[in-house]
Amino acid sequence: MKDYFAHESAYIDEGCEIGAGTKIWHFSHVMPNCKIGERCNIGQNVVVSPGVVLGNNVKIQNNVSVYTGVTCDDDVFLGPSMVFTNVINPRSAVNRKSEYAKTHVGKGASIGANATIVCGHNIGSFAFIGAGSVITKNVPDFALVVGNPAKQIGWMSEFGSKLLFNAQGEAVCKETGDRYLLQNNKVTKQ
């Protein structure tokens, strides 16, 4: 007996582990040997390729393909139609499955609609990738990045509010009151 929901139009291949309370919606396909945590929401027309690992409470919006080599920690948000790649130089006539690059998305990170994550670049915990951004390098924890190619324009709290650091490198989340410290271009929650 399964303790997750899958719409009748969804395909779930053999060998998948799917956590309790997860929902898989219309026309989505979860391929073999995926590990999907508890309370995830996989929107309409989503493909989760073989061997992908998703933590708990991952939200995947409509029209996203999560390719082999991608791992997402708990509480990750993948916006509508955002894109992961898994080969640096794809060619239809050349089989490069042995060259799949890995991409890790850290806990609580959000990736906006229509963003593209070029494979082999990791997204830090609680990072925020703006809609339409193209990621061509690693993104630090708590970073706010936008553009093509994406550039860092600030820092975000765990809650998702922009952090404004004073001269001592201290900031307070205006929504929660949590304190953050910026030292050596790294943010830590205090």
pLDDT tens, position by position, 26-77: 999 999 999 999 999 999 999 999 999 999 999 999 999 999 999 999 999 9
pLDDT of res. 161: 97
pLDDT of res. 1: 66
Report whether pLDDT(83) > 90: yes
Q: What is the mean pLDDT of residues 141-160?
A: 98
List, in order, residues 6 or more apart from 67 with CB less than 8 Å away.
49, 52, 84, 85, 86, 100, 119
Q: Distance of CA 59 to CAs 21, 47, 104, 179, Å?
A: 12, 13, 15, 26
pLDDT of res. 12: 96
**Residue with the two structure tokens 């993948």:** 78
Q: What is the mean pLDDT of residues 107-130?
A: 98
Distance from C-alpha of 149 to C-alpha of 95, rounded to nearest angstrom: 27
Q: Distance of CA 102 to CAs 16, 52, 53, 56, Å?
A: 20, 10, 11, 20
pLDDT confidence of 131, banded at 50, 70, 90? Answer: very high
Distance from C-alpha of 90 to C-alpha of 88, rounded to nearest angstrom: 6
Mean residue pLDDT across the chain: 97
pLDDT of res. 2: 84
Q: Which two tokens stand for residue 20?
A: 């309790």
Report whether pLDDT(134) > 90: yes
